[in-house]
Structure 1
Amino acid sequence: MIKKTILVIIFLLALTANSQEIKIDTVIKVDNFKLSLKIVDTLVEQKKSNFQKLIGYAEFKSDNSHVRARSREKLFMEKFDNLIKKDSTELFLKIDNEDKWKLIKLSPSKGEYENTLYDFYEKENFYLVRTQWGEGNNYKIVNKTNGSVTETFGEPVFAKSENFIMSLNVDLVAEYTENGFEFFKEKDEQIIKIGEYKPNNWGPEWGKEIAENKYIVKCYSVDNYLNQNEFFLEINIKNNGR
C-alpha cells in the first residue's frame, strides 16, 4: 500500500522562453527525506548503465524506443536464459524464493500490450521491466527475491547508502508519459512510493550518485520553438529519520 505523505515543495522557478534561462531553488520534503535541488555549472558524463556493464555496448539503430527495448531484451535472453523466458508478449522472470518463475502481468485496461526486460540490477537484486502501452511506456521494478512489483514512470537510480530510490523521466514534447521525479524507499524487502515532483517547464533525463547522498541530474527544458536547453542539477538528500 502506498503510504500517503505530504509533499512540501517550496520553489522559485523562472523561465525565459527565448534564452531558456532557468533558475531553481527547490526543497522537497517527503517522508523522512529532505531533498535540496540547485543548478550547478558542471559537465558530467553519464555513467555506464547496468546494461552496458552486463552486456556490453550495443548500437540500436531504430528510432523507435519499443524496438530498441526488444533488442536489449534479446541480448539479455542470450546471456541470462536462466533468468528470463518470453512467450509471445508474456514475460517470465526467475524469482529466488521457491526458485520459481513469475509472470509479469499486463493490464489491458490500461492499454498495456508488452513487457520487456530492460535492465537487471545485480547488486540491488532487482529487475527493471519496460511496459509498452499505446504511444508511451512506463516501468516495473521487480524484486528478484520475492517477486513484488512496483510501477514507476521513470528509470530508477538506487542510493548506495540509503534505502532510497529516485526514478527519472523527461517528456516535454510528445507528453505521452509522465515528466519528473518519483521517490521510493525500501522497507522489509518492499518498495514503497513516498512522493513525486513534476516540474512543468523542464524534466530530468538521467542522474547518478557522485557521493554519498549527492546526485548530479542532467535535465533539459524546451522553449516555444521546441529548442532544448540542457543543464545540470545537484540534488542533496538528507534523512531526517535517522
Structure 2
Amino acid sequence: MILFAGMLLSGCGHLRDAMDGSIRGPFYQSHNHHLANNDWPDEIDVVAVMPLAPGRGDRWTEQGVELMQQILTEELARFDLFEAITITPAKLHALTGTEQVRPHDFLPNKFPTIIAALDKQRTDRKVCDAVLFCEIDTFRPYPPLAVGWKFRLFNLETGELVWAFDEVFNSGDPRVNNSVRRYMRTQRMTHMDVFRDSLVVDSPRVLARYSLTEALETMRKNVPKEIPQTADGSVR
C-alpha cells in the first residue's frame, strides 16, 4: 500500500511538471542586443556604471528609479565578467557638473578622460576601461508588470560601442511569465512549490532581477550550436 501511494504521488508530480510552464516552457529569449565582434574584449576589466536614468517624461520610471538602481547595482556586483564601479549622481556631479547622462546626450567636457580616471584633476591615471550608460524606459509596477532596460557600453579609450541592449520584459507575455517563474524556482526559491503558480509573478523586484540577469548574460560570447553530421558528412 505504501509503495502504491508513493508511485501515485510520483506520478502526480510528473504530471504536474508536464503541465508547468516554468518547466516545459515556452521561455522568453531576448533578441534586441548587440555585442561587438560577438566577444567580450579582454582589455575591459573595470566598468564605470552611470546613474540609472528614467525614461524621458515618464512619471512611472521616475518613481521606479530609486528601487531599480539598487537592484541594478546588486546584480552588477554579482556578475563575473568585469568589476563594476557604480557612480552615484552626487559623485557624477562632482566629476562632471551633471547628475545624469545618457549616451545620446551632449556629454560634459573631457567626459571619457575624467570617467576613465574617476578624477577630474588627475586625469593621467586610468581606473576604468569602459563606461555603461543605463536607462529604465519602461516601469509598470501593477499587473501585468513590465520593465524595460536600455544599456550602452563604450570603450573609454577608443570610444567604440562594445555592447548594447534595449528590451521590454512584460509579464503579460506567457514566455516571460514562464521564464520568471523558472528563475524564481531555480535561482532563488527552489524549495517553495507555491512559486509554480503564475499568479505569484507580481513583484517588480523579481521581474527586475530576472530581466537584468537575462540582459547581462548577452554580454557573453554567443557560441553557435553545432549541427551534428552523419558519417558521410551530411547534416542530420
What is the TM-score normalised by the length of structure 1? Answer: 0.27
Q: Which protein has the bigger strand share?
A: 1
Which structure is higher in RCO with an 8 Å CA cutoff and minimum separation 6?
2
Computing the radius of gyration from Cα coordinates, the structure with the larger value is 2
Q: Which protein has the bigger helix share?
A: 2
What is the TM-score normalised by the length of structure 2? Answer: 0.27
